[in-house]
Copies of this chain bind each other. A is one copy, B any other.
Amino acid sequence: MEFLVNPNVERYINSLLKVDNVVEEMEEYAKGRGFPIIGRQGGYLLYLITKIKKPKLVVELGSGFGYSGYWFAKGITDGKVVMIDYLQENLDRAREFLGKAKLLDKVEMRVGDAVQIGREYKGIDILFLDLEKARYMEAVKSLEENLSEGGIIIADNVLFQGKVLNSKNDRKAKVLDSFNRYIHKHYDATILPVRDGLLIATKRL
């Protein structure tokens, strides 16, 4: 698929989004290594949802070097974000970046299997999925009982470069399509065409 959102529109939206030096540095870091991040629009959206929700507990499955964690931490006033990644070196970078941004007091970092570690946390106000795409269904089924009342699920890459629209021959796209259908069946949800597709869902009233 050529593109999800008109690139000129994305450019206009991004041109309005101001960030501090640490974010710029993180974006450079991602660009230089081809490390996939949620992007500035996605980051702002996480930040706004966090400000509106006022969560005590955010749990991230697949934190990478801390780009999304930065935005959650920035939005939290009284609570914490648990950042989980299977690579120690990713979280080492995250600790550097979030340290510079003076956000470490709102952050807990854990190395290991995201789903397994995530299950240790109950009363999750925002569950963020950005782990291996083939594990999205497993992740939500393992962790949905740990959501608080009114808990939110946010998942990145749910459009998967448009591959979910015709997922027959792509195993990951097939999992993501099933995930999207499962979430829309059991939650109040929508997908926002931000970067690679951001799903937002809340438990039913």
Residues of B within 8 Å of A41, CB to CB, are 190
| Contact indicator B51/A16 (Cβ below 8 Å) | no
- Chain A contact patch, size range: 35 or more
Residues of B within 8 Å of A191, CB to CB, are 12-13, 16
| Contact indicator B192/A45 (Cβ below 8 Å) | yes
| Contact indicator A165/B12 (Cβ below 8 Å) | yes
Identical chains bound together, number: 2
Residues of B within 8 Å of A10, CB to CB, are 193
Q: Which of A1-9, A90-98, A132-140 contacts B (4 or more CB under 8 A)?
A: A1-9
Give the interface SS of chain A, mostly helix, strand, loop or mixed: mixed
Cα–Cα distance between A13 and B162 once the two chains are bound (Å):
11
| A17 → B minimal CB distance (Å) | 6
| A190 → B minimal CB distance (Å) | 4
Q: Which of A28-36, A108-116, A180-188 contacts B (4 or more CB under 8 A)?
A: A180-188
Cβ of A53 under 8 Å from chain B: yes
Cβ of A164 under 8 Å from chain B: yes
| Contact indicator B12/A164 (Cβ below 8 Å) | yes
Cα–Cα distance between A16 and B189 once the two chains are bound (Å):
9
Cβ of A83 under 8 Å from chain B: no
Cβ of A77 under 8 Å from chain B: yes
Tell me whether A193 and B193 are in contact in the complex, defined as CB-CB below 8 angstroms, given that A1-B8, A8-B162, A9-B159 are known contacts.
Answer: yes
The 4 closest A-B pairs by CB, nearest first: A44-B190, A16-B184, A13-B191, A5-B193
